[in-house]
């Protein structure tokens, strides 16, 4: 079954600390994986995309990793800030046998950064 699972469901950290969010997927065949950030009451915004051949990609204080063998991705946030408080969603597209792609969304990790 094509699934995307994220852990933890929620996380609370102090400002300035680092954290790592996990995403495991069983979607096959695999083409790419994207991380989105969703602020409360807003739509998700793309942080980064990982393709099959990429292991690590950074976007400022955000670093995503991908292990295509174990079907795992992580999002590491360095020196967290209050503005990092949001939900982080992992998304993997699935190509059906016919028709257009469908995107499989994880349920997200809700991160709260405290001052």
| Residues making contact with another protein (CB under 8 A) | 31-32, 34, 41-46, 49, 51, 89, 91, 93, 99-103, 105-108
How is residue 102 written in tokens?
Answer: 């469908």
What distance in Å separates the CA atoms of residue 47 and residue 99, rounded to the nearest whole number? 27
Give the shortest CB-103-to-another protein separation in angstroms: 7
Q: Which is nearer to another protein, 42 or 61 (CB)?
A: 42
Cα pseudo-dihedral 64, 43, 5, 16, rounded to 10: 50
Query: Chain centroid to CA 75: how far?
Result: 6
Give the shortest CB-10-to-another protein separation in angstroms: 11
Q: Which is nearer to another protein, 34 or 80 (CB)?
A: 34
Give the shortest CB-51-to-another protein separation in angstroms: 7
Q: Which helix (H) or strand (E) holds 66?
A: strand 62-67
Q: Which is nearer to another protein, 18 or 32 (CB)?
A: 32
Half-sphere exposure of 90 (CA within 13 A, CB side): 30
Cα pseudo-dihedral 93, 96, 101, 104, rounded to 10: -30
Give the shortest CB-42-to-another protein separation in angstroms: 5
Q: Which is nearer to another protein, 26 or 107 (CB)?
A: 107
């Amino acid at each position: 079954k094509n699934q995307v699972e994220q852990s933890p469901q929620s996380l609370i950290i102090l400002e300035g600390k680092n954290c790592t969010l996990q995403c495991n997927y069983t979607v096959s065949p695999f083409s790419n994986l994207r991380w989105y950030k969703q602020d409360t009451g807003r739509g998700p915004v793309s942080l980064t995309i990982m393709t099959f051949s990429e292991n690590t990609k950074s976007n400022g204080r955000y670093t995503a990793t991908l292990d295509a063998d174990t079907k795992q991705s992580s999002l590491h946030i360095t020196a967290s800030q209050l503005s990092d408080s949001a939900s982080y969603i992992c998304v993997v597209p699935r190509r059906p046998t016919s028709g257009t792609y469908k995107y499989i969304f994880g349920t997200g990790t809700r991160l709260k950064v405290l001052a």
